[in-house]
Amino acid sequence: MSKVNSSNMELDLDRPNIEDYLPTDSIHEPLGKLRLRDLLDISPTLREAGGAIVDDSFTRCFKSNPPEPWNWNVYLFPLWCLGVVVRYGILFPVRVLILTLGWIIFLSCYIPVHWLLKGHDKLKKRLERALVELICSFFVASWTGVVNYHGPRPCARPKQVFVANHTSMIDFIILEQMTAFAVIMQKHPGWVGLIQSTILESVGCIWFNRSEAKDREIVSRKLREHVEGADNNPLLIFPEGTCVNNNYTVMFKKGAFELGSTVCPIAIKYNKIFVDAFWNSKKHSFTTHLLQLMTSWAVVCDVWYLEPQNMKPGETPIEFAERVRGIISARAGIKMVPWDGFLKYSRPSPKLKERKQQAFAESVLRRLEDK
Amino acid sequence: MGNTSSMLTQYDIEEVQEHCNNTFSQQEIVSLYQRFCQLDRNSGGFISADEFLSVPEFAVNPLSQRLFRMVDGLNFKEFVAFLSAFSSRATLQHKVEFIFKVYDFDGNGKVAFSDLLDVLRDLTGQFISEQQRELVLTHVLEEAGYKKDSLLVLSDFMKILGNTDLKMEVEVPVD
């Protein structure tokens, strides 16, 4: 049994009513007096369970769709083989070269700037920002990234945060090449973690740990401090909290929406014809994911910078979060599902089951009174 | 039909179809197989508790534990047979039998008051007291002509549920 970890505390009571999304009929319609057959007839509950076994909206969010094999005939197969040769034999080495070149340039500028300009903070920050944007551009070039940016470019102003839907860690790189955001991320092991703790620190990143409950308050505080700081880099948050397959969005965590700042939504949609950019972190490591991207033809995506939103009077942070999620999903043309992304790592809160039980219990008691 | 292969042969499909009495079409069986493989993440040939409960929609169902115990350890053929009660081609008799099996936990063909109470408890949780549950059950049982210590068998269930509209169909998504 997987650990029922403390991120269950994330699953609050005051979240949008899942019953509105799930296709349920009421367990029993109140139809007069309670009879034996009404109690014995558990078919609606069974149907919901059967439906969940056969197909469910949560698993669909994390399904990476394998490309249909299109190359199994006499003339397409050699073409495909030629394609493989080009991709692995020509494109991949060129890309590795580009990336290596990029890293050399970056490090040879970054290290001196970081150590020698210790006193001149403003200049140092500006240069570091430009350098991070540079290395991200090199990364994007290494996958032949074709990114169409729509909308006004983000600018650094206090009291604003940026939120985007999340498909892979490359979302961050794609956005970062345009603007040096500060980001809030899960701390990763390995070389990614090394980059996180050195280079990304300079852009002003905040770390969290999914499995720690107390962490949530600390992170909340850090977010607030960052947003209020005048010359911090604009903060980018992925409120889904996990990577989703770019066909759906899962529920947004309210953390980004209760800071009292303007929220600027960003929608990202990848064109699956070229490559499926979804990073299934349970299946491959980030390194494998990058290699997969580097041996594909291109990464094509659209990025829309959408109109900044403020919390409306009388709106709760959760309603605000869902409203912004609706805006992003509509722009990117993807569907919304009512599940919390962290359910990938933990079980649903018992409150959800209790709500169903309560509804049924109340209907039984009500019908009992109808004599 | 090996555990490791994720391809079904025509022979396998027909065997499964026969086992479930043709309640699913061949396309539906292929879809169900994809689903089975998707849920059976460690390719053990059956779906474990953890894998079932990782489907949030299933985990929040009040009867998930009972259903899970019925479907635990089933291989694909038996999994399809289990789901056949949810097919639109399933007969009313089949559906009532399925409901009976959910109640008849120990599988002895008889449903006692305690079994009825257990299911009602799963469905209502802490929102009705135990005494109230017993009272409600005794009341409806007596009204239907049974006593508290009666043991219900399948034919009783058929009589009670036989003329209700059992809406238990689930659509199998076919790509």
| pLDDT above 60 (res A2) | no
**What amino acid occupies position A209?**
N
| pLDDT above 50 (res A4) | no
DSSP A128: H
* Residue A22 pLDDT grade (very low, low, confident, very high; cuts 50, 70, 90): low
pLDDT at A279: 86
Q: Do B59 and A1 touch (CB under 8 A)?
A: no
Contact A257, A311 (CB under 8 A): yes
pLDDT at A333: 93
Strand partners, A162: A236, A264
* 3-class SS of residue B119: helix
Q: Is B34 on the interface with A (CB under 8 A)?
A: no
Three-state SS string over B121-169 comes to HHHHHHHCCHHHHHHHHHHHHHHCCCCCCCCECHHHHHHHHCCCCCCCC
- Which of A44, A47, A348 minimises the CB distance to B60? A348
Q: Is A24 on the interface with B (CB under 8 A)?
A: no
Query: In the sheet that A262-270 helps form, which strands lie side by side, from edge to edge?
Result: A145-150, A299-305, A262-270, A160-164, A235-237, A182-186, A206-208
DSSP A309: B
- The pTM assigned to this predicted structure is 0.78
Q: Do B62 and A58 touch (CB under 8 A)?
A: no
Residue entry with tokens 């109470």 = B117
* Residue A270 pLDDT grade (very low, low, confident, very high; cuts 50, 70, 90): very high
In total, the C-beta contacts within 8 angstroms joining chain A to chain B are 158
| pLDDT above 90 (res A330) | yes
A:208-237 residues touching chain B, CB 8 A cutoff:
none
pLDDT at A329: 94
B:146-165 residues touching chain A, CB 8 A cutoff:
146, 157, 160-161, 164
| pLDDT above 90 (res A370) | no
By the 10 Å C-beta count (0-12 exposed, 13-18 middle, 19+ buried), A159 is classed as exposed
- Give tens-digit pLDDT for A198-255: 878 778 888 777 666 677 778 888 888 888 877 788 899 999 988 898 999 999 988 8
A:349-368 residues touching chain B, CB 8 A cutoff:
352-354, 356-358, 360-362, 364-365, 368
